[in-house]
Structure 1
Amino acid sequence: MYCTSIFVLLDPASSYHWYTGTLSMLHSLAWFIIACRSDPGTVTAGNVRAHRALYACDGGVWPEKMCSTCKLMRPARSKHCRVCNRCVARHDHHCGWINNCVGLGNHRLFLAFLAATTAMAAYGAALGARTLLAAADRAGVLRHKVYDIHSSRVQLVSMPRAYVTRWLLHVYPLGVACTLFMCAATVLMLLFTAYQLWNVAAGKTQYEVYRWRDLYVQLLDEALQRKQQQEQSAGGGAGKQEGGESKGKGGGSR
């Protein structure tokens, strides 16, 4: 769709984008296939000891735990994926894009796929905008010739952006839609890639972020429960003390 709506508008001087754009798409597709077919780091009976030695359990976020499905002692930072039906070492997340888990074995490949796809989307957005504006310029939509009666000269006057936008939507609706889609994809891919790189720089995975958050909520709930119990016990003790004092006063009055 992008090729039939954008590439066909390229002028002869920009025909090389046929090749560079195709290479960009093939580059992203290659990393996509590699990420789809890669092993995320499946934990098996043959390598579970090595994975457990790589990341030790801490008894807190990563307690000693047996996987009820794989019948293996889970290494720290691992997770059993219900979709893939396997335990994955240093599990990050299950990606629906590649229909595969992202873990110790393929995290670098997944980052390469993200980088290639982000570059392709940015390239497509920039090329689409440039090509559509060039087509509008060739049609004389961007600038009109106007005769200036004061200078007796013909001048080029830029047309309002709203007028150019309406013209593009009317003449090249599919090209505008593809360009806007590539712009949105670029923003989303940049945000997700930045989030992944942030986690890598911090030395943590997406799954670990969720684990730490759940642990924090659990500890906070336990602390609130203890505080409520202490307040209730303190209130009960004060009530008993007041009851004893009132009884003492009653006996004295008699």
Structure 2
Amino acid sequence: MAVQWILICHVLLTALVVISFLCGQWPIFRGTFIERIHYFITFGAYDYFLRFVGVICGSRGTDAILCVEDYCCNRPNPIMQFIYLGILGGTYYVIVKSSFDYIPSYYLSEIHRYMSVLAVGVGILLFLLTSFSDPGTVKAENVSQYISAYPYDDIIYSEKECSTCDIPKPARSKHCSICDRCVARFDHHCGWMNNCIGERNTRYFMAFLLWHFLLCIYGVVALGLLLAGRLKELKVIYILTGKMNSPFSLDSNFVSAVYYGIENSFSSLAPYVAQWLLGSYNTQVLLMVFLIIVALLLAGFFGYHANLCLTNTTTNETFKWQDYLSWQKKLNEAKASEAALKASISGLSPDKKAPEGKWKSFFRRSPLEHVDTVVKNNKYDKGYFHNICEIIFPYSSRPSFSRTKLKKR
């Protein structure tokens, strides 16, 4: 019975941490313990740790921690890559040790022993491609081609020079402070890959996310079929419903005589079947829970980036649009304040205007609607088909790219 409670606590605690970490800043959680947990995970815990080290080891200890932080967060390093390989390798090792003895089973053929190796191998290959491929480094030799491929929109991108690289800065590019290079169609720097995600390797990154999502689903389904096969092979349902003469044909972890004669209905059988599975195959059940949680996280991340790819937008550009909208909002507020001041001054004159009605004011067009229109009419969004082609076949990989020359303005 202790195993069941451990599993329940594990699921609830994992769900609480994941929801708090990913969604703690949402308005719906404002002022709740979810927001406080999010703050503690993202900032508070590290701040308390620094204070603790400062009290125990003094300033030298704090400086050492800050040096480690600088190395881990502000410089290229393979730490997250090793963590990824450890998670993937460790999970697959546990699956092999705990489950391969039952393959082939009633619902799984022996081919899944080799298919699983192939599936994990493809995942590692996509990881290596994303990690070590060129994300689209902008150099003096190709900067003119990138400027022609990505024209300035004169809204969030305008002509300027990279102060670090001393070359013109193409639209949609950004200088990565971690990798110390300009990257075309920069999306973000991925710590898991120890590489930037940009114009040339977004396709590998998307394939990596999709494949690992499918890999988790494959693991869940395979383990589910394996457990279903054990139920079938050991005739658990027949024993529980009293349809067998020998109630002791199960393994020693399950005393079937206690449950002999249970009604043949899902609501009656489910608790006992679940108890048997948790008692006899708790490792497989925990693996399924872990894979489901990872699959949900990967699905959300892939969905977010897929939407960006379909609209030909990058993560970096979403922040730029937010900055632009914020600037427009402040500008409009300043204009509104100026207009109100003029109205109050002109109110002293006899020819003042009649006050605007409440309903007319309510339905009046928002001054920021034209900004929303600009965002929706993204200059680089040329339709789903073209946007997907741009991801799969980047401009710099096309033969026409090397022949393109910058047009003089």
- TM-score range relative to shorter protein: 0.7 to 0.9
Per-residue deviation, residues 161-202 of structure 1 (Å, max 9, x unmatched): 222223222222221111111122222222222322222222
Runs of at least 4 residues off by over 6 Å: none
Tell me the distance in 1 between the aligned counterparts of 2:277 and 2:345: 76
> How do 1:41-120 and structure 2 match up within 5 A?
41-120=136-215
Instruction: After superposing the two structures, state which structure 1 stretch, 76-85 or 107-116, moved more.
Output: 107-116
Tell me the distance in 2 between the aligned counterparts of 1:232 and 1:165: 71
**2:264 corresponds to which letter in structure 1?**
V
Tell me the distance in 2 between the aligned counterparts of 1:228 and 1:76: 34
**2:271 corresponds to which letter in structure 1?**
A
SS of the equivalent of 1:71 reads coil
Measured on the aligned residues, the alpha-carbon RMSD in Å equals: 2.4
Structure 1 residue 114, shift from structure 2 partner:
2.1
Tell me the distance in 2 between the aligned counterparts of 1:61 and 1:45: 23
> How do 1:84-163 and structure 2 match up within 5 A?
84-143=179-238, 144-146=240-242, 157=264, 160-163=269-272
Q: Which residue of 2 aligns with 1:188?
A: 297
Instruction: After superposing the two structures, state which structure 1 stretch, 218-227 or 197-206, moved more.
Output: 197-206
Structure 1 residue 39, shift from structure 2 partner:
0.5
Per-residue deviation, residues 79-136 of structure 1 (Å, max 9, x unmatched): 1112222111011122222121111111112222222212211111111121123223
Tell me the distance in 2 between the aligned counterparts of 1:196 and 1:162: 40
Q: Which residue of 2 aligns with 1:206?
A: 315
**1:79 corresponds to which letter in structure 2?**
K
Structure 1 residue 20, shift from structure 2 partner:
0.8
5+ residue gaps, structure 2, are 1-93, 244-260, 351-409
Per-residue deviation, residues 32-63 of structure 1 (Å, max 9, x unmatched): 11111101001112211211121122221102
Tell me the distance in 1 between the aligned counterparts of 2:100 and 2:343: 77
SS of the equivalent of 1:14 reads coil
Q: Which residue of 2 aligns with 1:8?
A: 101
Tell me the distance in 2 between the aligned counterparts of 1:6 and 1:63: 58
Tell me the distance in 1 between the aligned counterparts of 2:231 and 2:176: 51
Tell me the distance in 1 between the aligned counterparts of 2:164 and 2:113: 50
Q: Which residue of 1 aligns with 2:113?
A: 18
Q: Does residue 30 of the first structure (1) align with residue 125 of the second (2)?
A: yes
More strand by share: 1
Structure 1 residue 24, shift from structure 2 partner:
0.7
Tell me the distance in 1 between the aligned counterparts of 2:146 and 2:231: 59
Cα 1:232–1:5 change in 2 (3 A) is: farther
Structure 1 residue 237, shift from structure 2 partner:
4.3
**1:161 corresponds to which letter in structure 2?**
A
SS of the equivalent of 2:192 reads coil
Q: Which residue of 2 aligns with 1:166?
A: 275
Tell me the distance in 1 between the aligned counterparts of 2:214 and 2:318: 27
Q: Does residue 220 of the first structure (1) align with residue 316 of the second (2)?
A: no
Instruction: After superposing the two structures, state which structure 1 stretch, 204-213 or 96-105, moved more.
Output: 204-213
Structure 1 residue 155, shift from structure 2 partner:
10
User: TM-score, normalised to structure 2's length?
Assistant: 0.53
Cα 1:54–1:235 change in 2 (3 A) is: same
% identical aligned pairs: 31
SS of the equivalent of 2:113 reads helix
Q: Does residue 40 of the first structure (1) align with residue 147 of the second (2)?
A: no
Matched length: 235
Tell me the distance in 2 between the aligned counterparts of 1:84 and 1:165: 50
Tell me the distance in 2 between the aligned counterparts of 1:217 and 1:2: 50
**2:276 corresponds to which letter in structure 1?**
W
Structure 1 residue 21, shift from structure 2 partner:
1.1
Q: Does residue 232 of the first structure (1) align with residue 325 of the second (2)?
A: no
Structure 1 residue 156, shift from structure 2 partner:
8.6
Tell me the distance in 2 between the aligned counterparts of 1:30 and 1:214: 37
Tell me the distance in 2 between the aligned counterparts of 1:218 and 1:9: 62
Cα 1:238–1:156 change in 2 (3 A) is: closer
Instruction: After superposing the two structures, state which structure 1 stretch, 89-98 or 134-143, moved more.
Output: 134-143
**1:53 corresponds to which letter in structure 2?**
S
